[in-house]
């Protein structure tokens, strides 16, 4: 089993017949994710470090993973230090970068070197891509059913899209799960129309965010980063596909996609989730300046249910949106 620290060109290890697991998902769905964080802190990871980094470290230790593809550029510099710690423990680490200059040439080099590591050729990669694209298209359909047909909840949308980073660790089983869900959802009546919320930023570390929003008469109909994991701009060319993938290329590139989707999905308000101690907290400044909708910046640190303060803030935010909507 090969672990990944965030979405990578999944086509390559799959072409090599490897079993891939997204360490973030492994951490956050673990029966006791808090214990994984504690394990990292006992090993010396500072308290004021991103919970995802510590969780990934804990998951690798607990679940006995010996090979990890680490994204060293386009995600965060903490991953680089995590990779160094893992390497010092004898864990095989394979670096992969989404170069900041965002050029075809530099990204090609990265993809080629990953392919060389796994000893796979273009034909095999393209075959794997074809297989993956089939499933990705089904996930795009779930997304469309969320915002256009209104028959899928925010939590369901989040789940299927976030799992596309590693196809839930088992591509065929995941494909079956998607089929059976889509069939069921297609029979549903549209959900009650309330406030339409966009969720932007990295996936939440809180397990209960989506149900809580729905309890308060609102629904997430856009999950920015999770949707990106499903490669919404599918291209037959693998390099081009990962050039379109917005998440690793800075806030301005992400903003274009966000702005377009906010309009298309008729969004009332935006929840910008930021992880404590993450550099993306700073990007909130640019995001707020460029979005012409109310934004609630929600900060999460530990994998635990929403704390009282965050609940107050979400609740007040939704009340505010409701009052604004009623006034127009």
How many angstroms separate the most distant Cα atoms in the chain?
Answer: 61
Please report whether residue 320 would count as binding another protein according to CB under 8 A: yes
Tokens found for residue 295: 């934004």
- Residue 282 is a binding residue for another protein (CB under 8 A): no
Does the protein bind another protein through residue 309 (CB under 8 A)?
Answer: yes
Q: Can you tell me which of 18, 185, 301, 304 binds another protein, judged by CB under 8 A?
A: 301
Strand ranges (E), the chain? 2-4, 20-22, 67-73, 92-97, 195-201, 218-223, 269-275, 295-300
Name the β-bridge partners of 201. 273
Q: Are the beta carbons of 267 and 292 closer than 8 angstroms?
A: no
For residue 293, state whether it binds another protein (rule: CB under 8 A).
no
Q: Is 189 in the site for another protein (CB under 8 A)?
A: no
Query: Is 327 an interacting residue with respect to another protein (CB under 8 A)?
Result: yes
**Is residue 230 a contact partner of residue 136, using CB atoms and an 8 Å limit?**
yes
Q: Is the CA virtual torsion 49, 200, 232, 156 positive or negative?
A: positive
Tell me which residue has tokens 């690798």.
Answer: 60
Q: Name which of 235 and 310 has its Cβ closer to another protein.
A: 310
Q: Does 281 bind another protein (CB under 8 A)?
A: no
- Binding flag, residue 208, another protein (CB under 8 A): no
Q: Is 292 in the site for another protein (CB under 8 A)?
A: no
Tell me the closest approach of the beta carbon of residue 115 to another protein, in angstroms: 43
Among positions 24, 128, 299, 303, the unique one binding another protein when judged by CB under 8 A: 299
What is the gyration radius of the CA atoms in the chain, in angstroms?
19
Mapped to the 3 state alphabet, what secondary structure does 286-312 carry? HHHHHCCCCEEEEEECCCCCCCHHHHH
Residue number, 109 or 301, with CB nearest to another protein: 301
Q: Tell me: does residue 319 bind another protein (CB under 8 A).
A: yes
Question: In terms of CB distance, is 81 or 320 closer to another protein?
Answer: 320
* Size of the residue set binding another protein (CB under 8 A): 20
- Using CB under 8 A, list all residues that contact another protein: 276, 288, 294, 297, 299, 301, 308-313, 315-317, 319-320, 323-324, 327
């Amino acid at each position: 089993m090969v672990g990944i620290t965030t979405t990578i060109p999944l086509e390559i290890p799959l072409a090599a017949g490897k079993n891939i697991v997204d360490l973030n998902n492994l951490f956050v769905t673990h029966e006791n994710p808090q214990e994984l964080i504690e394990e990292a802190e006992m090993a010396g990871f500072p308290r004021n470090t991103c919970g995802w980094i510590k969780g990934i470290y804990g998951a690798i230790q607990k679940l006995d993973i010996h090979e990890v593809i680490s994204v060293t550029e386009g995600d965060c510099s903490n991953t680089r230090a995590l990779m160094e710690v893992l390497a010092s423990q004898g864990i095989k680490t394979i670096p992969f970068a989404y170069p900041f200059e965002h050029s075809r040439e530099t990204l090609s080099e990265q993809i080629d070197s990953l392919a060389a590591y796994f000893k796979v050729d273009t034909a095999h990669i393209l075959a794997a891509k074809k297989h993956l694209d089939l499933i990705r298209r089904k996930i795009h359909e779930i997304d469309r059913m969320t915002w256009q047909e209104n028959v899928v909840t925010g939590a369901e949308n989040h789940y299927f899209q976030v799992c596309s980073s590693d196809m839930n660790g088992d591509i065929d089983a995941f494909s079956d799960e998607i089929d059976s869900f889509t069939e069921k959802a297609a029979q549903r009546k549209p959900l009650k129309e309330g406030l339409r919320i966009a969720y932007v930023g990295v996936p939440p570390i809180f397990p209960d965010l989506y149900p809580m929003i729905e309890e308060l008469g609102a629904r997430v109909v856009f999950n920015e980063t999770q949707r990106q994991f499903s490669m919404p701009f599918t291209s037959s060319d693998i390099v081009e596909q990962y050039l379109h993938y917005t998440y690793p290329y800075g806030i301005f590139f992400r903003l274009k996609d966000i702005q377009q989707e906010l309009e298309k999905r008729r969004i009332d308000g935006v929840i910008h989730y930021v992880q404590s101690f993450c550099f993306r907290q700073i990007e909130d400044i640019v995001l707020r300046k460029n979005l012409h909708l109310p934004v609630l910046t929600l900060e999460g640190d530990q994998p635990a249910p929403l704390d009282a303060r965050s609940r107050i803030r979400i609740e007040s935010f939704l009340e505010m949106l409701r009052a604004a909507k009623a006034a127009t």
